[in-house]
A = this chain, B = another copy of it.
Amino acid sequence: MKALVTGGAGFIGSHLVDRLLQDGQSVIAFDNFSTGQRRFLENAQNHDQFDLIEGDLLDECQIESAMESVDFVWHLAANADVRFGTDQPRHDLEQNTLVTANVLEAMRKNDVRHIAFSSTGSVYGEASIIPTPEDCPMPIQTSLYGASKLACEGMISAYCEGFQMQAWIFRFVSILGERYTHGHIIDFYEKLRANPKRLHILGNGQQKKSYLYIHDCLDAMFTAVESATGFINILNLGTDEYVEVNDSVELITQHLQLNPKRTYAGGERGWIGDNPFIFLDCRRMRDLGWSPKCSIRDGILATLNWLQTNHWVFETRQ
């Protein structure tokens, strides 16, 4: 089995590379290192069955030639940050929608028939049903990020229908754990390193979010690919808990033994397109026999511990 992992030097991608190699598969990581980290592939680089292609998925030729003799594509490359859509309105279109179109075309031309895709709970916008099931009422998009991921889901499904491919589409909550490089924990930690006495919080701090630990996430993805046998398998991936941003802040500041003065930007949403309550119904995934082992609390602490011993990651942030 030869697997191609796009975004293979990223947070989730690099963990996936390690797991696939452990599993005895040949692995190609494809990454442009816009946010991926070479250090995340240090283990993989020592492995005979591993190849790294430094390339840009917007270059159709590069991805077409990388796809040769591949059996399975794990397409994780993306702009993964929902927050800055309105600052750069074409960014999600290019890095998510167009990139995915190129991956699908490269698959079609090389007769590669299996794809797993990292979508997002953001496709639900502000869902009318919470916890939100995969077949909730058609939502209205509230972010360019969510819209671009929904566009990718649509193309993948249409390629499955039109070209006899099989897909596993994962709608993730935010993922936590070792190699975490963007999101609220690193943001808060970075702010507290700069000023331990004050912490500014986007929104009113009462936003409710669900998080999943990276190794639970990988277990789920492997379980799904082994057990979900439909042509198009759409699966929420989260936990049965959620926490308020204020709870996260409490946990982080306690762990760091700090007591900063909190200030709030105010409003229900942290940014344009922020969803004040993300909580997914994960029964489909549970019915495949998977369940998460790590609580949100433990995931946050594992993330903090990793950040505390990997300060180099702050230097590489843009």
Least distance between A222 CB and chain B CB atoms (Å): 23
Q: Within 8 Å CB of A10, what residues of B?
A: none
Check B141–A158 contact: CB distance below 8 A.
yes
Taken together as a complex, chains A and B put the C-alpha atoms of A89 and B144 apart, in Å, by: 23
Check B163–A86 contact: CB distance below 8 A.
yes
Least distance between A137 CB and chain B CB atoms (Å): 4
Taking the complex as formed, is A146 at the interface, i.e. its CB lies under 8 A from any CB of chain B?
yes
Q: Within 8 Å CB of A173, what residues of B?
A: none
Check B232–A161 contact: CB distance below 8 A.
no
- CB contact between A155 and one of B108, B144, B155 (< 8 Å): that residue: B144
Least distance between A9 CB and chain B CB atoms (Å): 27
Taken together as a complex, chains A and B put the C-alpha atoms of A136 and B135 apart, in Å, by: 9
Check B140–A150 contact: CB distance below 8 A.
no
Taking the complex as formed, is A151 at the interface, i.e. its CB lies under 8 A from any CB of chain B?
yes
Check A93–B85 contact: CB distance below 8 A.
no
Taking the complex as formed, is A37 at the interface, i.e. its CB lies under 8 A from any CB of chain B?
no
Check A138–B140 contact: CB distance below 8 A.
no
- CB contact between A138 and one of B98, B101, B137 (< 8 Å): that residue: B137
Taken together as a complex, chains A and B put the C-alpha atoms of A146 and B159 apart, in Å, by: 12
Q: Within 8 Å CB of A108, what residues of B?
A: 89
Check A90–B85 contact: CB distance below 8 A.
no
Check A140–B105 contact: CB distance below 8 A.
no
Check A141–B162 contact: CB distance below 8 A.
no
- CB contact between A143 and one of B141, B144, B146, B158 (< 8 Å): that residue: B158
Q: A89-B105, A141-B153, A143-B161 are in contact. List 7 more A-B contacts (CB 8 A).
A: A86-B163, A90-B105, A136-B137, A140-B157, A144-B155, A144-B159, A146-B154
Q: Can you spell out 28 A-B residue pairs with CB atoms less than 8 angstroms apart?
A: A85-B162, A89-B104, A89-B159, A89-B162, A90-B101, A93-B97, A93-B98, A128-B135, A136-B138, A137-B137, A137-B138, A138-B139, A140-B232, A140-B234, A141-B153, A141-B154, A141-B155, A141-B157, A141-B158, A143-B162, A144-B158, A144-B162, A147-B157, A148-B154, A148-B155, A150-B151, A158-B273, A162-B273
